[in-house]
Amino acid sequence: MSALEGSDHHDVFSDARPLVLFVCTHNSARSQLAEGLLRQKYGARYRAESAGTVARGVHPLAAEALQAVGIDASAHTSKTIESLGDLTPDVVVTVCDNAREACPYIPAERNLHHAFRDPSAVEGTDDDRRRAFAEVREEIADWLDATFG
């Protein structure tokens, strides 16, 4: 049983799966990776969404990093927290320190924070940048396994 299970009002086989909202500054890389990975790994138990304090578009290397592990990110869009309207998450996860500080209060049963490195800040060759996205993708996957698995 994961650290987040045990709430008796969430039946894993119903439409009442807990909603996990991943938040980062631009909803372009880390939160997109987390959303895609949670859906792939634990979609039977959790719903996943992501948003940012500002929407900047999905980073092409984030989409590529998801594609590399069999996740189609072509339908992913960059969203703001405000654009989610009345969506009420069960769990809010901020994945960068800026989002944690700038994020408006989002009511949820649980608020978690884990600051992942920003792969879009890596400079260097295309291979260096792809490697950074792959590394952060794997760090997020490991954290999701430990937290939701």
Q: pLDDT tens digits, residue range 55-100?
A: 999 999 999 999 999 999 999 999 999 998 888 999 999 999 876 6
H helix intervals, the chain: 30-42, 60-67, 97-102, 126-148
The residues spanned by each domain of the chain are: 19-148
Any residues with CB less than 8 A from the CB of 98 and at least 6 apart, and which? 24, 25, 53
Residue of 24, 62, 132, 140 marked catalytic: 24
- The answer to whether 137 and 33 have CB atoms below 8 angstroms apart is yes
The residue that leads in pLDDT, 25 or 127, is: 127
Query: Average model confidence (pLDDT) for the chain?
Result: 89
Range 19-148 has CATH code 3.40.50.2300: yes
Question: What is the b/e burial string over 42-68, where b = at least 16 CB atoms within 10 angstroms of the residue's CB?
Answer: beebbbbbbbbbebeebbebbbebbee
- Residue 24 known to be catalytic: yes
pTM of the model: 0.87
Clarify whether 96 is annotated catalytic. yes
Per-residue pLDDT at 13 exceeds 60: no
Catalytic, 44? Answer no
Where is pLDDT greater, at 1 or 76? 76
